Amino acid sequence: MTTSIQADQACLRRTVDFTREHDTATLLPLLLPGLDGPELRALLERCRFAHTAVLVFPPDLATLDDQLADCGLVVESPPQPSVVVRQRLAERHRRDPAELEVRILRPAVLGLDGTRREVEVFALAVPPGSALTGLVEQERAHQHEAHLAFEVERPDPLVLHGLRAVLARHGAHADGGGYNPHEDGTVLYFTAPTGSKTDYRRIELHVAGDHPEVLAAHLDEYRSRQPAETLLRLLTGAWTTQALASAARLRVPEALDTAEARGTEAVAARVGADPQALATLLRYLAMLGAVAEQDGGWRLTGVGALLRAEEPASMRALALMYGGPFYRSFAELDHTVRTGETAFDHLFGENHFDHFARDPELAEQFDQSMAASTRMFEPLPTHPVIAAAGAAAPGPRTVVDIAGGNGELLRRILTAHPGLRGVLLERPHVIEAARRSLGSLGERCAFQVGDFADVPSGGDVYLLSRILHDWDDERCREILRHCARAMPAHADLLVVERLLPADGSPSLATAWDLHMRCNVGGRERRADHYARLFADAGLELVGRAALPLDAAVLHARRAAVPAPAEASRLS
């Protein structure tokens, strides 16, 4: 037996002995000094000592079988791929995950108390002369993957957040984790606190199922303690954008299925790509959660399915827009920050509305991206103002959608409320696409070609959905004045926008504020900012309701004393 095999064998024996000799009640106080009373009882009620983990490096899996048998371990199930440990090793040693085929085996061990536990064996086969020798030496010396695992019973997000908080109070810190689709299990790793009375420096909470929100919070905490890794991940965000956009352009999602895995060669042939280069892209997409590796092939996840053109909630057009024209203009962000000017205009020599209007393909892509965004605001058709208009009698009420694109939002509202009629105000080239989209509504929907100065009068509900954030304050006031002049005294105005948080908390609106300034020339605003713009136009903010993705619908009506009208025209 070589020295390396002997080292693995000794490590396996120590792991087996430790697993037999300890149970949950004795182990938790050793790991978390000072843990007692209610918190210890809470952990004992929710967690059980499940396994001790060890990473070994046999020259081949047959040798590993012999080593396990020598320790009295019987493997009842075939090895499974270890997504989490493979990724951790790849990041730690700057390796391609594809060259690290880490497997998991879980032979059972009977504890002294008669409880069945396991030894979790991570195995990376490293034959003599392998280029991975340096990796093996470092891992054996530091035992990064050795840990003690506790199975969380009856998990839910509240319980998991509570368990994380208890461990943190006793000095355990987030140390990574992940979701393994092969076993449908989520793992949360922690470093054991200083003063822990075992030789194991890592703790794992193992949770059945996928818990993305809890895992995301846990990983955010871990990365906050790893500033270099955090910065590197932030710097490579552009790669993510282009990987998703490239997959959409190549029609990779259309070549995959959500249920059945397909091999790289077959997918490459279907989309006309180089198989090796496509495999690299697919591995990266798997890391992003857009595809999943299964049975030697690839299948599409729910996230990746949104990149399909024919998916009902498709976001393909957004991927193409963010990975296309807007991606290029974002490279000129420093121009916007230095001068306050719009980077898109600086790069292309004109604003994005004019640029897209002159290119039919880009114009259609932009309209489709706006329609895809509209689908994110599903609750809007149920807003009390719209619901009341739909139920009002006698006679139908009219909803006026100002600059409503291809009419996707108006279509959803009119479909939800058969008693409503609609008017879509848009530019000539957009109206044609809208007629096709809204044709099934027949005479219930009218179309008016024009700009903001042509807002039709006599409507009951007026919509401005993600329009005001395209413009500076003065233009917003002009748009709102045109609306106020057209609105009867009883009419309502609903404005859909993302709102900047008043307390500076993290929000999608903050990201979109940067996007609007760089690419469009507009900006996002706080609710009180919009209230002032309304007041300047003779309107009053009377209500506000939350929408998904940090958006809101602001409800305004004509003020009792209207502000002085201005005759300026918006084009």
- Over the Cα atoms of the chain, what is R_g? 30
Per the DSSP assignment, residues forming a β-bridge with 399 are 422, 461
Strand partners, 187: 178, 206
d(CA 439, CA 410): 12
Domain boundaries, the chain: 3-228, 236-309, 376-558
As to burial, measured by CB atoms within 10 angstroms (0-12 exposed, 13-18 middle, 19+ buried), residue 349 is exposed
Pairing type for strands 420-426 and 445-449 reads parallel
* Whole-number Cα distances in Å, 552 to 50, 232, 332, 462: 46, 33, 30, 16
pLDDT in tens, the chain (571 residues): 467 888 889 999 999 999 999 999 999 999 998 888 888 998 999 999 999 999 999 999 899 999 999 999 988 888 888 888 988 898 888 887 878 989 999 999 999 889 999 999 999 999 888 888 888 988 988 888 999 999 998 888 888 999 999 999 999 999 989 888 878 899 999 999 988 999 899 999 999 999 988 999 999 888 888 788 778 888 899 999 999 999 999 999 999 988 888 999 999 999 999 999 999 999 999 888 889 888 889 999 888 999 999 988 899 999 999 999 999 999 999 999 999 999 999 999 998 888 888 888 888 888 788 777 766 667 888 899 999 998 886 778 999 999 998 888 899 899 999 999 999 999 888 888 788 878 888 889 999 999 999 999 999 999 999 999 999 999 999 999 999 999 999 999 999 999 998 887 778 899 999 999 999 999 999 999 999 999 999 999 999 998 887 889 999 999 976 555 543 333 3
Rounded to an integer, what distance in angstroms lies between the CA atom of residue 567 and that of residue 405?
25
Q: Which residues pair with 48 in a beta bridge?
A: 151
pLDDT at position 55, please? Answer: 95
| CATH code for the domain defined by 236-309 | 1.10.10.10
DSSP letter string, 458-485: S-SEEEEES-GGGS-HHHHHHHHHHHHH
Helix axes 212-224, 227-235, angle to 10 degrees: 120
Give the span between the Cα atoms of 240 and 86, in whole angstroms: 20
Burial class (CB in 10 A: 0-12, 13-18, 19+), 216: exposed
Catalytic residues: 469
CA separation for the pair 147, 199 (Å, rounded): 9
Res 370: pLDDT: 79
Phi, psi of 77 (to 5 degrees): -125, 155
| Residue 181, phi-psi category: left (phi > 0), alpha (psi -120 to 50), beta (remainder) | alpha
Q: What contacts 197, CB < 8 A, 6 or more positions away?
A: 30, 31, 33
Task: Taking the CA atoms of 464, 467, 472 and 474 in sequence, report the sign of the dihedral they define.
Answer: negative
For domain 376-558, is the CATH number 3.30.200.20? no
* Beta carbons within 10 angstroms of residue 128's beta carbon: 8
Class (C level, CATH) for 3-228 = alpha beta
Closest CA to 285 of 328, 321, 242, 324: 242
